[in-house]
Amino acid sequence: QVQLAESGGGSVQSGGSLRLSCSASGFEYTSFLLGWFRQIPGKEREGVAIIDNYDDAVYADSVQGRFIISLDSATTTVFLQMNDLTSDDTAMYYCAAAAPRPASPRWLLQHSRLADAWGQGTLVTVSS
């Protein structure tokens, strides 16, 4: 059973940066998707960035050019480097995994129900 453990959330001023980490354990597949979603109260969870085991990555339009997702395959840890943060980025961020890989990274980005496992979430707060 896949388990995900997130870290790295916190508070930062607008224009600042944060780096989130998510360590995955219990992986038995070599083909998978890992990534990040975020959610604010009263709104649906939205895809932020997804990466696959080939290092192919996709991003939501709202974070393209500011966020970078990366994968350490040796430890099955996925990172999200968030730069030039704004108050619109304030949310609970969740790590997600889909294994074996059910579809393309963009499908998972747009369809959170494809995820098999979720982390507990880490809060990111950006103040202006």
pLDDT of 4-29, one tens digit each?
999 999 999 999 999 999 999 987 88
Cβ–Cβ < 8 Å for 38, 92 = yes
pLDDT of 29-84, one tens digit each?
889 999 999 999 999 999 999 999 999 999 999 999 999 999 999 999 999 999 99
DSSP state of 64: T
* Per-residue 3-state assignment (H helix, E strand, C coil) for 15-47: CCCEEEEEEEECCCCCCCEEEEEEECCCCCCEE
Alpha helices in the chain (DSSP H): 105-110
Between strands 77-82 and 67-72, the pairing is: antiparallel
Q: Specify which residues 91 forms β-bridges with.
A: 124
Q: Which helix (H) or strand (E) holds 86?
A: none
Q: How many angstroms separate the first and last alpha carbons of the chain? A: 40
